[in-house]
Amino acid sequence: MIGTRLDDVDAPRLIRGAYGWWFIGNQTWTLLRPECVGPDGTVDGDAVGFLRRVGAFRPRTPTSFSLTVLTTTTCNLGCGYCFQNTGLDETGGARPPRIGRAWLDDDVIDRVIAFTRDRMRRCEMDRLFLLLFGGEPLLNPRGCLNLLDRARTIGLDRCAMTTNGVLLTPRLARELYAAGLHGAQVTFDGSRADHDRIRVKRSGAPTFDTIMRNVARATEVTGLNWNLRVNVSHHNVDRIGDLVGELAADLIPDRCTVTFAWVGDAGFGYRNTMRHLDEVSDAFVSWSIAALEAGFRMARPGMRTTCQICSVPGGRYGAVVNADGKLFSCWQSAGKPGFEVGDVDEGYLDVAGVPERWVTCGYEYEQPDRARFDSFQDRVDGRLLDYLHTTGRL
């Protein structure tokens, strides 16, 4: 028997839907009849046996080494909520102070590749997933291209990039795609009107139309796919619905995956006062359905998972490397003084000696309590699975 409180990491989820119970396992989505789940939240033996046969309890195991590299810590935008800010712009403008400047050059790239080759050999992996990160990685295009070129020598399998999209010209997009970049994540802070108040250049200039134009042109000249992350906060929640139509008007929906994401509070005076209430979950569902109806892709709800890099102290299956070669436990702490957990020349520090530095994704965000967050996510995911089921898309 299995209960609804599946609290282990990398654990299946059991969610109430309109037609029964959704059991979400490892790449499996199974609708159980209502009578298969008892009042105490346990699943009957026959259903558990079926779930085991279809692989719902199959453990999630890494298939490639996951490497995140910051090509620079500088950024051309001045978003007030950025986790890499060290304070607010005291003048009220869009130039918040940031973490220290670091720049990826050829010498550091060679050292990163040597380090990664050794780590891959230790964990007996011959495939590499590379994430180009920043700051804004495209402030250092040469670093991106040279890292991609060198990564091919150690088994580069896939590469993605997290970029604000402002500097992505068609020429650069072609060069990155030819070098091995497969996809990129860009972020929208709501509809055009809200986005251009929140996601601005450090001069204060708007960015919505520039990002849209650059993504559209890059799509025309490459095979890149896109994850369009939509940040949701009390600043833009009322007009998020307008964004789907704005995106569909200029982009090719079937090349884009849309993700709606709650903005975490990183401190320094920025506070997202939105809470996971029923009306907010209703809005998330309606936006998701509108995006699917417009032809955009959307990731299916998944089982509870943990980050491949930061969830295992000591970096067994991955690493986060700052542009200066220092190691950090996760993308969110990268570049922050006092959070270094080693460097690419000497390897990782003994985790037992610096336990406070080995932080995990989201460590500094002020979030609602876990139970409230899980309840919110279950409501959204259950209704989305119901929709995918009734429309034959699951």
* Domain edges within the chain: 13-60, 62-162+301-360
Tell me the C-alpha to C-alpha distance, in Å, between residue 377 and each of 102, 142, 360, 370, 391: 37, 40, 20, 10, 21
Q: What is the mean pLDDT of residues 41-47?
A: 90
What pLDDT, in 10s, does the model give residues 235-284? 899 999 999 999 999 999 999 999 999 887 665 666 677 766 778 899 99
Q: Are 130 and 71 in contact (CB under 8 A)?
A: no
Residue 4 has pLDDT above 70, yes or no: no
Q: Are 42 and 1 in contact (CB under 8 A)?
A: yes
pLDDT of residue 366: 62
At 286, the pLDDT band (50, 70, 90 cuts) reads very high
Residue 80 has pLDDT above 90, yes or no: no
Tell me the HSE value of 190 on the side-chain side, using a 13 A CA sphere: 20
* Higher per-residue confidence, 312 vs 211: 211
Q: What is the mean pLDDT of residues 220-242?
A: 95
Tell me the C-alpha to C-alpha distance, in Å, between residue 163 and each of 236, 244, 264: 21, 20, 19
Q: Mean pLDDT of all residues in the chain?
A: 92
Percentage with pLDDT > 70 across the chain:
93
* Higher per-residue confidence, 306 vs 382: 382
381 Cβ contact partners less than 8 Å away, ≥ 6 residues apart: 13, 15, 22, 24, 301
- The enclosing H or E element of 386 equals helix 370-390
pLDDT of residue 372: 78
* Higher per-residue confidence, 2 vs 331: 331
Q: What is the mean pLDDT of residues 149-166?
A: 98
3-class SS of residue 244: helix
205 Cβ contact partners less than 8 Å away, ≥ 6 residues apart: none
d(C-alpha 388, C-alpha 292), whole Å: 9
pLDDT of residue 40: 83
pLDDT of residue 367: 58
How would you list the strands of the sheet with 28-32, edge to edge? 13-16, 21-25, 28-32
* Higher per-residue confidence, 372 vs 181: 181
pLDDT of residue 6: 40
Q: Computed from CA positions of residues 109, 115, 119, 125, in that sequence, does the dihedral angle turn out positive or negative?
A: positive
What pLDDT, in 10s, does the model give residues 84-119? 999 889 898 999 999 999 999 999 999 999 999 999
What pLDDT, in 10s, does the model give residues 164-176? 999 999 999 999 9
**Least confident piece of the model among 12-21, 34-43, 170-179, 273-282:** 273-282
Residue 212 has pLDDT above 60, yes or no: yes
What pLDDT, in 10s, does the model give residues 336-390? 999 999 999 999 999 999 999 999 887 777 655 677 778 889 999 999 999 999 9
At 8, the pLDDT band (50, 70, 90 cuts) reads very low
Q: Are 88 and 269 in contact (CB under 8 A)?
A: yes
Amino acid letter, 351: V
The length of the chain in residues reads: 394
